[in-house]
């Protein structure tokens, strides 16, 4: 973890890999590292698909160790979707494997001249970069299968599907899970298009012959990890709700709270919600011989994922997450779980952000292209993306572009990125995060739903503006720190409620790196990350005017609470005025 792998895809004579010390980036991991490199090295005015843009893939500071939940990975770039900085976060195996191989980050730079596409193989002996046009326009599942045939089953893969190759704005980057399936995605912000523009189809990692990363103080680390796991397992959300039902436990909760965006953010409750709830989903999974509880990476103890089989008991997809179920469910008026699972599979395979794609389908329904509730139409639309037809390319370009192409006024985006699964009028704290996060609308950037709805980390009335700015600010700072550790954001539920669990995390970091970080230091760390991100965006031309929700959230009340977004602009402008 003291070296960075830089691959110049545009080097004379073909792609060239160089391993360099972390140098000035030492001490930074995950999001802190990707955002530092983006902020320092990428010209803010560059075209996101140009040779000047870079794609940075970085495990967290704790990834590759034995600490639980440390398998998240950060992908950084100038976003083709937002035009601003992007850190897109994923689970799966590659974070641990990359860390064990000793890399703090892979940085893809430059751009090859021709149309060849490349596979990159990395193991303890080094790096091999090979053009392989037989991989062209394969889906993620197929390309991973090919790699398994070539390299065996002890690998972990990072790949793009057809969407990334086509450089579509909603293109994701897929990370394989414990079963070597491409089901974990850095979904948001179109980082797949950047990887596609670099001509890289897949990065294959093999950590055979490496060992777990050794902490500086193994005993203290081991002790802290025990407390860490115990804390996670004793909290209601991370110990019970998420393992049992997965993230989709939220469908009934958010729907009940009146914050479940329905029919392109027209209503706050969906009549069909119960049919696509986590409870129904888990039941179906168990009945069909899938799994209702499953971790996306080794070392996960929350295990919010699952395996979703089709009616015949064959694997269809991993358990679709709450935001995915919602994006194709209530947002599009679809209440059939199998339809949603098929959409999840297709989008994983083609390599698409499920939130962006679902919201985009909702926008086409608003435009009259499909009727709300037309599941078959939605599936056909996503298949079009894989084919690269003009219609498919529009949808694959995300909600903002699709809204422009079809002349739609109600387009739920901030900084060009689609709003996730919580209506900002009924959950005003998350509205502050959507509006102000440097990432564009992103629930994970400061998950105020926890406090507004779940009562985690205190209580703040979701329907009123009071306290939301402070809530979002604190969560955005904390999240920037957690994202830098490689820790799953769901650990925050336990951290927010249990001081001893937060202390366990601090102990893990300190024992691993020989540091003496305090709680106050983590706040400074988070602020430093956000400051770099905001600075990049400012240099890219963003102002406070982009820290706003679409105006219809202020002018059109949403039922059942009949509320509008009430946090005013002056308050929004105070989020980063700490």
| Residues found near its own copies in the complex (CB under 8 A) | 43-47, 49-50, 52, 80, 166-169, 193, 196-197, 389-391, 393-394, 397, 401, 404-409, 411, 539-546, 548, 550-552
The DSSP bridge partners found for residue 74 are 58, 89
The residue among 5, 14, 79, 94 whose CA lies nearest residue 48 is 79
Q: How far is the CB of 169 from its own copies (least distance, A)?
A: 6
Question: Hey, is 89 helix, strand or coil?
Answer: strand
Give the DSSP letter of residue 262. Answer: B
Residue among 44 and 329 whose Cβ is closer to its own copies: 44
Residue among 389 and 562 whose Cβ is closer to its own copies: 389
The residue among 226, 217, 186 whose CA lies nearest residue 56 is 186
Q: How far is the CB of 340 from its own copies (least distance, A)?
A: 24
Rounded to an integer, what distance in angstroms lies between the CA atom of residue 169 and that of residue 190? 5
What does DSSP say about strands 103-109 and 156-159: parallel, antiparallel, or unpaired? Answer: unpaired
The DSSP line for 118-154 is EEEEEETTEEEEEE-GGGTT--HHHHHHHHHHHH-SS
φ/ψ (deg, to 5) at 387? -80, -20
Q: How far is the CB of 80 from its own copies (least distance, A)?
A: 8
Give the DSSP letter of residue 213. Answer: P
Residue among 193 and 359 whose Cβ is closer to its own copies: 193
Q: How far is the CB of 162 from its own copies (least distance, A)?
A: 12
Strand order of the β-sheet with 173-175 is 126-131, 118-123, 200-205, 156-159, 173-175, 184-186
Neighbouring CB atoms inside 10 A of 272's CB total 16
Q: In sequence order, which ranges of 351-490 are alpha helices (DSSP H)?
A: 354-366, 375-387, 390-396, 398-405, 428-436, 449-452, 468-485
Rounded to an integer, what distance in angstroms lies between the CA atom of residue 58 and that of residue 25? 12
Residue among 455 and 541 whose Cβ is closer to its own copies: 541
Q: How far is the CB of 545 from its own copies (least distance, A)?
A: 3
Residue among 213 and 548 whose Cβ is closer to its own copies: 548
Q: How far is the CB of 442 from its own copies (least distance, A)?
A: 19
Residue among 60 and 416 whose Cβ is closer to its own copies: 416
Q: How far is the CB of 52 from its own copies (least distance, A)?
A: 7
Residue among 411 and 492 whose Cβ is closer to its own copies: 411
Residue among 405 and 523 whose Cβ is closer to its own copies: 405
Q: How far is the CB of 329 from its own copies (least distance, A)?
A: 25
Peptide bond into 399 cis (omega under 30): no
């Amino acid at each position: 973890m003291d070296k960075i792998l830089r691959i110049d895809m545009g080097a004379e004579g073909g792609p060239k890999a160089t391993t360099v010390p972390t140098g000035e980036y030492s001490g930074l991991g995950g999001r802190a590292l990707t955002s530092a490199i983006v902020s320092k090295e990428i010209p803010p005015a560059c075209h996101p698909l140009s040779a000047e843009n870079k794609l940075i893939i970085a495990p967290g500071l704790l990834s590759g160790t034995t600490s639980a939940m440390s398998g998240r990975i950060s992908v950084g770039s100038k976003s083709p979707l937002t035009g601003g900085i992007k850190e897109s976060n994923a689970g799966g195996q590659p974070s641990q494997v990359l860390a064990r191989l000793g890399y703090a980050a892979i940085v893809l730079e430059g751009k090859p001249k021709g149309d060849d596409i490349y596979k990159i193989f990395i193991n303890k002996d080094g790096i091999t970069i090979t053009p392989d046009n037989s991989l062209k326009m394969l889906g993620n599942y197929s390309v991973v299968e090919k790699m398994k045939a070539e390299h065996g089953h002890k690998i972990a893969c990072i790949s793009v599907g057809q969407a990334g190759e086509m450089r579509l704005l909603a293109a994701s980057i897929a990370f394989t899970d414990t079963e070597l399936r491409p089901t974990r995605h850095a979904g948001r912000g179109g980082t797949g298009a950047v990887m596609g523009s670099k001509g890289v189809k897949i990065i294959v990692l093999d950590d055979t012959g490496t060992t777990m990363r050794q902490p500086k103080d193994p005993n203290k680390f081991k002790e802290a990890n025990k407390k860490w796991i115990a804390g996670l397992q004793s909290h209601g959300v991370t110990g019970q709700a998420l393992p049992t039902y997965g993230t989709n436990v939220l469908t009934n909760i958010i729907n009940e709270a009146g914050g479940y965006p329905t029919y392109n953010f027209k209503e706050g409750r969906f009549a069909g919600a119960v049919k696509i709830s986590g409870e129904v989903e888990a039941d179906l999974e168990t009945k069909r011989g899938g799994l209702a509880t499953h971790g996306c990476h080794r070392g996960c103890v929350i295990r919010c994922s699952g395996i979703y089989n089709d009616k015949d008991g064959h694997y269809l997809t991993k358990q679709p997450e709450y935001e995915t179920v919602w994006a194709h469910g209530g947002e599009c008026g679809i209440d059939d779980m199998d339809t949603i699972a098929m959409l999840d599979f297709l989008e994983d395979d083609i390599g698409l952000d499920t939130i962006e794609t679902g919201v985009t389908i909702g926008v086409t329904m608003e435009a009259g292209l499909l009727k709300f509730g037309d599941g078959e139409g939605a599936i056909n639309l996503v298949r079009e993306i894989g084919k690269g037809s003009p219609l498919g390319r529009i949808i694959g370009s995300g909600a903002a572009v699709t809204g422009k192409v079809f002349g739609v006024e109600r387009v739920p985006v901030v900084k060009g990125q689609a709003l996730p699964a919580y209506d900002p009028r009924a959950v005003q704290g998350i509205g502050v995060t959507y509006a102000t996060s440097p990432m564009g609308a992103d629930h994970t950037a400061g998950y105020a739903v926890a406090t507004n709805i779940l009562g985690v980390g205190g209580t703040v009335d979701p329907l009123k503006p009071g306290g939301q700015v402070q809530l979002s600010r604190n969560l955005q700072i904390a999240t920037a720190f957690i994202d830098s550790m490689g820790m799953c954001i769901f650990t925050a539920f336990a951290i927010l409620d249990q001081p001893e669990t937060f202390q366990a995390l601090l102990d893990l970091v300190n024992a691993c790196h020989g540091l003496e970080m305090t709680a106050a230091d983590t706040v400074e760390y988070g602020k430093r990350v956000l400051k770099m991100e905001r600075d990049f965006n400012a240099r890219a031309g963003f102002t406070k005017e982009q820290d706003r929700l679409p105006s219809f959230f202020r002018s059109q009340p949403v039922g059942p609470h009949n509320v509008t977004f009430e946090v005013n602009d002056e308050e929004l402008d105070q989020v980063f005025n700490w």
